[in-house]
Amino acid sequence: MDFETVSVVGLGYIGLPTAAAFAARRKRVIGVDVSQHAVDTINRGAIHIVEPELDMLVHAAVTQGYLRATITPEPADAFLIAVPTPFSDGYKPDLRFVEAASQAIAPVLKKGDLVVLESTSPVGTTEQMAAWMAQVRPDLTFPQQAGEQSDIRIAHCPERVLPGHVIRELVENDRVIGGMTPRCSELARELYQSFVRGDCILTDARTAEMCKLTENSFRDVNIAFANELSIICDKLDINVWELIRLANRHPRVSILQPGPGVGGHCIAVDPWFIVDSAPEQARLIRTARTVNDSKPGYVIDRVERAARRFKDPVIACLGLAFKANIDDLRESPAVEIADELAERFAGQVVVVEPNVRTLPAALDGKVRLCELNEALLEADIIVILVDHAQFRRVDPVRFQAKVVIDTRGVLAHA
């Protein structure tokens, strides 16, 4: 099937690069987002997020007429939903954005259209999405009603890209595609093969949903091991960075790097979807989440102990993003740590984040955003929370007169 027009709903860290990837293959792409700022920025040929190479792709796509953004969904041949799936109180999955997107596109669906959910979701969400659309469009049939003879085809295809490398990985990485029927899977594969050079592997929707949750839970469990190891090493006066380097020389050992916690909209969130679906069985996954969620508190306690050496210490937090060299602050442990330090040391906390121009709402008015050199001069205590390239380039000599709490091993690798 020739999908001439593709609509991407949700123009964030995944949706916008995906829209640009389709546009680069000369598909007509209609991007949909609830943010007028995002829509206006994209229609100027610019971008509202930080991701290497994305600015050039979007500018070219808009200039050449292959990409256009709008607030209101329009008819298309294929629809990709790439909206957030956070959790609410009690770590319960919050699907309101998926529901809103489903109900928004339902009025413009026509017979033969394909709808793909890309949002990382609890098992069963793709089926729920189809049910929401069926409620709005009783004149059309969906796979849960008519199987292979349905008017609308439904599939799930989760992203699996690394922030900072999204453009390359969107094209090169394998994709797992799970349709509500085999034909749904095949049509979705045809769509993605227009730009994906990796293998497009077919399965059913529930397995595709669980696959993404499994991938991120695997990472979370292994990061929890590294984070727990770092706390043990502090207690035993062992350099955890050297220990991991030595242990990883074993041919079958590959320990990850510890940090101040785990952030981002995937690894810090997705394991809870499994726990919610199978709370009695997901014991290890729950424990890993608990270990990683407790690490910011451990870092804050270390800072508080160090602060006792000073009367009114200036504390500099280096980094707010959840990982290096990006501007994504979602679920960032660095933001949580800076916020709590600002509560405990009011007026004494400065923050350096080279990838953002304004502070997030949680920190606005509580801390001061400043340049790196200024922070290095003023601070008594430096807390390295993100290993941005700018921080790794600092001469280690500049840290020598400071109390440094290095959660990322920046100085260990200097």
Active site members? 212, 266
How many whole angstroms from its chain centre is CA 153?
A: 27
C-beta of residue 383 within 8 angstroms of C-beta of residue 299 = yes
The tokens of 3 are what? Answer: 């999908």
The tokens of 306 are what? Answer: 């160090």
Helical spans, DSSP H, in 239-371 = 240-247, 270-277, 283-307, 333-344
What gap in Å lies between CA 165 and CA 56, rounded to an integer? 14
What gap in Å lies between CA 216 and CA 253, rounded to an integer? 19
C-beta of residue 313 within 8 angstroms of C-beta of residue 307 = yes
Give the neighbor-by-neighbor strand order of the sheet with 28-32: 67-70, 28-32, 5-9, 78-81, 114-117, 153-156, 175-179, 200-204
**Cβ neighbours of residue 34 closer than 8 Å, sequence gap 6 or more:** 71
Q: Helix or strand or coil: residue 57?
A: helix
Of 45, 42, 44, the C-alpha closest to 15 is 42
**Cβ neighbours of residue 308 closer than 8 Å, sequence gap 6 or more:** none
CB atoms within 10 A of CB 1: 12
The tokens of 169 are what? Answer: 């990985």
What gap in Å lies between CA 201 and CA 209, rounded to an integer? 13
CB atoms within 10 A of CB 289: 25
